[in-house]
Amino acid sequence: MTTSAKKEKLDRGWRFWTPRIATSVFVPVLLLGITEAALRLFGVGFPTELTVPCTVQGRPAACYNLFFPAPFFPPGMIKTPQAYAIPAEKPRATFRIFVLGESAAMGDPDPAYGFSRYLEVMLRERFPSTTFEVVNTGSVAINSHVLLPIAKGLADQRPDLFIIYSGNNEVVGPYGPGTALASSGMSLPVIRTSIFFRSTRIGQLLSKVGMQKREWGGMEMFLDKQVPARSPLMKHAYENFESNLRDTIAIARRSGARVIVATVATNLKDCAPFASLHREGLGQDALRSWSTLVQQGADLENGRSYAEALKTYLSAEQIDDQYAELEFRIARAQWMLGDYRAAREHFLRARDLDTLRFRADSKINDINRSVASSSAGAELVDADKIFANQSPNGIVGSELVYEHVHLTPEGNYILARAMFLQIASRLARETGRAPSQQGGDVASDVQSDVPSQVECEQLLAFTAHDRLRIAREMLQRLQKPPFTNQLNHSDQVLRLTIKAGAPDESPDETSAEYQWAIRKKPDDHILHYNFGLFLFDYNRAAATEQLRMSRPWDGFPVFAPDGTPVE
């Protein structure tokens, strides 16, 4: 066959197949597009954009869309952040900050006293000529797969700064290898395709048909989702986290905003592993020897023979060095013997080997550090290091973290202070003016002019009554698995029982503290909300008025503690 004949045959083939291939692709896409449009037209499903239009005191704003998390959670298990509204108009001299993260960033157990709230009052008090809008988008159970679309949804809201405090839920959050939520498929392109599909009306309809409605069961839902550190799935989890973090930073930077990435502080000393697994290939004889040594070590430790207990535990470690609880026992003995450097290393190993992975591990924090240092325009706040420096013997415990990751008031203040110093130093350099002052040495003025924890908590109305309320809530949480499975559960319960048993202040004192803070910031809807909850047992009419004033946007449904709606 001549060259021209071959060319003619090839051309005929292209003419024959090209329209057929195009039709086979175009027609299904067209039908899907028509179906999607029809579902939207007839009101089937719901929008999953981050925000929806609303009004705040009659002015246009973008308000959090309660359906946004639907692509990431099974029906009935959707978790949402504190409701927030972003004014459409951004006046001059306004500095807009968005906080991204999980429940620790949100401020759990009470977002009213999360680090973002401390940061807001610090900035407000020390830079009175600037209006600061700190919007906390943190939410329970989410992870970097959710943070990326949150950043996309906020990028057009004229942000000045993004703060990312994330990493605790990479394994147990949506699409993680140890999740009880959305699919645990680990390919990032597949995950992102799934998120896109589930955000469409077609995807919502099919998900509703194919998924059974479930109820949120807290951390107890994950008890059968153990993932050892050696699992090959962890490699994918780390890679996905790094990719999502880099993409989130890139989106934030394209919006013109600064970005602060923080490492994550976790409780090492007072949070024993939630679950442990033995190393692969451990035979029955070796397991019996290991168990005998650990029991002997525990008896010696209970008898306060810490040196002998440590020797016994180390002998057991020679048999199996992958069991998280043993590493915690070793660390605890070393702590009692005053070898704090070695204790820290074994406390870290205990956390990193924990097979119920509710805490950011060393690799997650290494990724936070490396991405922050290698991403143009990103800055690092090394909270892990800062908390260690503020902890007894350099090991973070319950002084700064309640249980595993949720910060105490002292912890939230320390994190906010670190953020304040990072933000204020640059603001001072850009304006040539130190906080609340004119001229002088900018760096030293910023360092010396940080509001105290007491000052912040007065402005937040963080009363003795609220501290007691939160301690009691945390004590209740510890009565459920997986906390009840921890080696040091009784110590944790005792510590919080003492706090929860403290005497309450008088209602008049609490009311006066709230009234003072509200006079300072009359438009703070969170202050009104918590004051309304407090007043409910004493003055229903006054409580209703405060709850009515707590609406973050016009028409937002507010309910009294007894479940009745506030008109």
Q: For 555-566, how does the pLDDT look when each residue is reduced to its tens digit (9 = 90+)?
A: 899 998 988 899
End-to-end, the C-alpha distance of the chain in Å comes to 86
Output the CA–CA distances (angstroms, integers) from residue 153 to 45, 133, 160, 192, 251, in the order listed. 20, 17, 15, 16, 10
Grade residue 80 by pLDDT with cuts at 50, 70 and 90. Answer: confident
Structure confidence at residue 14 (pLDDT): 56
Grade residue 104 by pLDDT with cuts at 50, 70 and 90. Answer: very high
Output the CA–CA distances (angstroms, integers) from residue 304 to 293, 309, 332, in the order listed. 16, 8, 11
Asked if 236 contacts 177 with a C-beta cutoff of 8 angstroms, the reply is yes
Average pLDDT, integer, range 154-166: 97
Grade residue 75 by pLDDT with cuts at 50, 70 and 90. Answer: confident
Average pLDDT, integer, range 447-472: 94
Helix (H) or strand (E) holding 392: none
Structure confidence at residue 204 (pLDDT): 74
Query: Which two structure tokens, joined as six digits, stand for 418?
Result: 């670190």
> Which ranges of 200-232 would DSSP assign to H, the alpha helix?
201-210
Query: Which two structure tokens, joined as six digits, stand for 349?
Result: 């190993």
pLDDT in tens, 52-67: 999 998 999 999 999 9
Structure confidence at residue 474 (pLDDT): 97
Query: Among 146-160, 431-445, 531-545, whose mean pLDDT is lowest?
Result: 431-445
Structure confidence at residue 17 (pLDDT): 52
Count CB neighbours of 441 within 10 A.
11
Q: List residues bridging with 163 in a β-sheet.
A: 99, 260
pLDDT in tens, 325-338: 999 999 999 999 99
Structure confidence at residue 439 (pLDDT): 46
Query: Among 304-318, 439-453, 514-528, whose mean pLDDT is lowest?
Result: 439-453
pLDDT in tens, 214-273: 677 788 888 999 999 999 999 999 999 999 999 999 999 999 999 999 999 999 999 999
